Amino acid sequence: MRIAVAGGTGTVGRHVVAAAEARGHDVTVLTRRNGHDLETGAGLAGALDGIDAVIDVTSVVSLSGRRAREFFTNVTGNLLRAGADAGVGHHVALSIVGIDGIDDGHYAGKLAQERLVEGGTVPHTIQRATQFLEFAAQVAEQTTFGPLTVIPKALMRPVAAREVGARLLEVAEGEPVGGRARDLAGPRDERLADLVRRMYAFDGVRRGVLEVRFPRPFGKSLATGVVRGGDDALRGRITFDEWLRSPDHVPVRPRREGTRHAVAP
Ligand SMILES: NC(=O)c1ccc[n+]([C@@H]2O[C@H](COP(=O)([O-])OP(=O)(O)OC[C@H]3O[C@@H](n4cnc5c(N)ncnc54)[C@H](OP(=O)(O)O)[C@@H]3O)[C@@H](O)[C@H]2O)c1
């Protein structure tokens, strides 16, 4: 198949690309660094010609619902228009488990994205996943102030981005569902602050971790654990501690030396 991966250099995108290449697909990566700004549409003309499936794993880093809505609306609108023009047979969008009714922060953008995909003319599947195991590093990267990292109270069931990538490819290879596929969640319930503490201990980083309740519906959804989803989800197998010991974990380095983590929501 010819598969376009929008956001193919990101935390999950790189796993989608690796999985697709390993199975012999012809992969096109659409990112700004590769000359395609999907928010403005620059560089998109002709990029989907001959493409069988688009997998959208783009993202924006912002706590603002307005900005998230704007980003996901623009990117999804551009991808769907270009996909319809090019006759793309399957649009696969990655969304987040448990976000129904939480029209706030990053989730406001994801809900807008889901609505556009569902209302579009390109045959589609929406795959929701829980937070990635990588989420601990993604959050800590943005909430570290000197010797302290402030972490939202969050009860999660995190899943490896590697397993999400493999699942997205499996979905793209199959027939469009015309709605949501079964949710994908991780193997265990975890508390985000504990994950960050374990990651710092593993990486030898001496930094305090303060857990606080984040405000607004977004913060509340993390604290109540509604984003863990239900018992009927598909379950990944890789645990956080296995992931820490794997090459997928990029060690956190002291801030003065910089970090190598991708920054994401
Ligand atoms: N992180 C989680 O725990 C989690 C859990 C479940 C679902 N999700 C969803 O998974 C998706 C991917 O998240 P992630 O954490 O993998 O994101 P990420 O690491 O921040 O990667 C984002 C990707 O999008 C690309 N991108 C950003 N703006 C773009 C633009 N204007 N045009 C083209 N490409 C653009 C980036 O490349 P350039 O910067 O080069 O453009 C990068 O490849 C998001 O939609 C998120 O909602 C995330």
List pocket residues of ligand 1, CB cut-off 6 Å.
7, 9-13, 30-33, 36-39, 57-59, 94, 96, 110, 129, 131-132, 135, 138, 262, 264-265
In the prediction, which pLDDT does 254 show?
67
> Looking at the domain assignment, is residue 208 inside a domain?
no
Structure tokens at 190: 């975890």
> Looking at the domain assignment, is residue 113 inside a domain?
yes
In the prediction, which pLDDT does 253 show?
80
* Domains in the chain, number: 1
> Looking at the domain assignment, is residue 68 inside a domain?
yes
Residue 62, domain extent: 2-131+160-185
> Looking at the domain assignment, is residue 198 inside a domain?
no
**Is 60 exceeded by the pLDDT of residue 117?**
yes
In whole numbers, what is the pLDDT of the chain averaged over residues?
95
Q: How far apart are CA 164 and CA 94, in angstroms?
A: 9
**Is 70 exceeded by the pLDDT of residue 255?**
no
Q: How confident is the model at residue 177 (pLDDT cuts 50, 70, 90)?
A: very high
Which one-letter amino acid corresponds to residue 223? A
| Beta pairing partners, 37 | 42
> Looking at the domain assignment, is residue 75 inside a domain?
yes
In the prediction, which pLDDT does 261 show?
41
Contacts of 12 (CB under 8 A, 6+ apart): 57, 94, 132, 161, 164, 165, 168
Q: How far apart are CA 104 and CA 91, in angstroms?
A: 25
In the prediction, which pLDDT does 187 show?
98
Residue 50 dihedral angles phi and psi, to the nearest 5°: 80, 0
Q: How confident is the model at residue 13 (pLDDT cuts 50, 70, 90)?
A: very high
**Is 50 exceeded by the pLDDT of residue 108?**
yes
In the prediction, which pLDDT does 265 show?
43
Q: How confident is the model at residue 259 (pLDDT cuts 50, 70, 90)?
A: very low
> Looking at the domain assignment, is residue 227 inside a domain?
no
Helix (H) or strand (E) holding 155: strand 155-156
Question: Ligand 1 pocket: which of 16, 39, 58, 79 to mutate (most atoms <8 Å of CB)?
Answer: 58
DSSP 221-255: HHHHTGGG--TTSEE----HHHHHTSTT------G
